[in-house]
Structure 1
Amino acid sequence: MEEKREYSLVDHQKPYRYDEDGLRVTRGSAWSGPGCHLGCGLLMYTDDEGRLVKVEGDPENPFNEGRLCCRCLALPEVVYHEDRVLYPMKRAREDRGKDAWERISWDEALDAIAETFLDLKEKYGPECIAFYSGTGRDIGQYITRLSWGFGSPNFVFAMSGQSCYSPRVAGCFANTGAFWLGDYSQQYPDRYDNPDWVLPECIVVWGNNPLVSNSDGLYGHWIVDCMKRGSKLVTIDPRLTWLAAKSEHFLQIRPGTDAALALSMINLIIEEDLFDHEFVDCWCYGFDELAARAAEFPLAKTAEITWVAEEDI
């Protein structure tokens, strides 16, 4: 009996590893730093000595279809940069702030760390140490085991994106119980040809340049793919980006006035009765207070604050 799968396999014409023009090509995927959450398919070209010569997008990977951003394309420069730290380095406490590093072995480094940890544990208890993790990648499952195996409950998820990522995640979870990702058919191996996928009628890009940033599960080129298929784009940004120039509507907002524009739009939606009453009655808390606050931003006032014309709002 054939096992039922909840996923599909993608056929490739070329194998996982092959030779081309005197170089060895290895197929893979990348979550390249800093800040990449994607995992685009790439081809890594190495010479006879195993040195990474270049990186190209994998045209047989349905996720990015051979396209890469500058982070992946620059991987050879990152790997062989003269300032990259390749070994454990130690500096005396009295030399803090000075470029007075001494190379040590991996065993010396691990012994020094273990000695310090165990000494603190004996003196103050395991709870005295907090184990910090950034935005995941490949460390999350290991540092939690280290924390709990050490006896400390203090696993801390400390992200650098407190101004953008954390509020977005918290807002999504508080309102819908999950983190929102735009549906650009990235979940299907046959992508835009999948019959279950529906083309988005309108895409709003607000204060973001996805062709450059490619952040949090959104590859900017997917927006262009959808535009070619008929999606209309609305861009709200102080700058005239490439996407803004191609948009159906470009609201060139005064920096720092996004909240006023959002409240004015909410006010219009409420005034013109364009919202789902049943959904609001069943699931929304504080709607009346939101409506009252949004009413403080009529079109004329908002246009003066944001520098966006009333008719554009």
Structure 2
Amino acid sequence: MTESDRALVDRFADALAAERGAARNTLLAYRSDLAAAAEVVGDLGLAGAAELGRLAPAWAELSPATLARRSAALRRFYGFLADEGLRSDDPSAALPRPRTVRPLPRVLEPDEVDAMFREAEDRAASGEPLRLRNLALLELLYGSGLRATELVSLPARALARPEPFLILSGKGGKERLVPISDRARVAVARWRETLPKGAVWLFPGGKAHVSRVRLFQLVRAMAAEAGIAPERISPHVLRHAFATHLLANGADLRVLQALLGHADIATTQIYTHVDSKRLVELVNRVHPLAGGALAKASTSA
């Protein structure tokens, strides 16, 4: 990458960090994708449609997801240059646009979640600290839809106050309100009683907090104990279950978006596939034309 390109990429990254609160890993990913493009087209700042047209054959062996990500990084980069007056044109129309299909989330049935909770509660009844910890983890994963990183990095003081919610700083530093159920609060309180004084993390492990990898292992172990195939379960699958089951019971998509911390409602809309039958029934039941409801309303008026 040329020195001039490096300067442009630095300005682009600074803008993403300042205006959109992009996380460090996100910025590193953008830099990596732009560097990969520079290897093919040469000078990114001066590249036109002809140069960008070389990317499609050069990246033909990439997975659709990787190709889509790299193209998106370049589109945003050139959009930034145009907005800042650093280019008079935007050549990104020449970028490859792979067709990608967002994979549907793996889904747990409510009775499977119930089985995991029954087993975790039975084992926690012994009062064994690690069993109390596991139940608290499960309550927060499924009961609040926390991301794995958000969960394992909770400070020891989390949920120590009576408010029925947490204020979390999620992806990109964006804050959101996360409701905490009474049963989750009870489970966390029982676990907190076992923590040593001066504990920094709610779920300590080693020299810091429990790692995401360890959380993954714990969740799979709890699934196996409940008779569920471990390969079907992960912390993220429980987050999907939280969203899926809320939607199935009438939650609004916008509310769900806020609870999950999604920046874009399109990300949340993927959950509508899991309960299409309920959505059809909802339309048939409450639409003005359903069952002559419109005519009845006119008559009563």
TM-score (ref. length: structure 2): 0.24
By relative contact order (CA 8 Å, sep 6+), the higher-ranking structure is 2
TM-score by length of 1: 0.24
Choose between structure 1 and 2: higher helix proportion. Answer: 2
